[in-house]
Amino acid sequence: MEELKKLVREWQETESGTKRAFMEIMEHLQSMDNISFAFNARPGVSYSLRPKHNNQKERTLFAMADVIDDDPEQRWLSVCFYGDMINDPDEMGDLIPGGLLGSDGYCFDIDEYDESTIEYLKARLDEAYEHAAAL
């Protein structure tokens, strides 16, 4: 997780507020019990935070919060979930057939901070967490 700490430390916030969005999502995840994190750093491509509930046996995560790093001065986020672990009542996500580690998923892209979008994603995180905890 040193790479995650380095990303947070070195990431300069821009007017878009995507660092703030990522921090709020990460802090929400960190407040959950019985989970562990994997972090995959690919500078210039993406940084991927992957929470897994300790009860999960078949899947290695219940969500994926990616910082897309193709332009480090204009980073954006893609927060993804397995399609069978969440609902998307406001249809804000993009359905990605086979796009989440070979399974159907929903991805929500954030290119600027918006409080209502972050709250919506926190609710999806809670939903996926509860689903993972029941496995």
Secondary structure letter of residue 65 according to DSSP = E
| Domain CATH for 54 | 3.30.1460
**pLDDT(135) > 80:** no
Q: What is the pLDDT of residues 4-60, one digit of tens each?
A: 999 999 999 999 999 999 999 999 999 999 999 999 999 999 999 999 999 999 899
Q: Which residue type occupies 7?
A: L
pLDDT of residue 4: 95
Q: Which residue type occupies 24?
A: E
**Cα-atom radius of gyration of the chain, to the nearest Å?**
14
Contact 22, 91 (CB under 8 A): no
What is the pTM for the complete model shown? 0.95
Domain range spanning residue 39? 2-133
Alpha-carbon gap, residue 40 to 4, rounded angstroms: 9
Strand 103-110 to 46-53 pairing: unpaired
**Domains of the chain: total:** 1
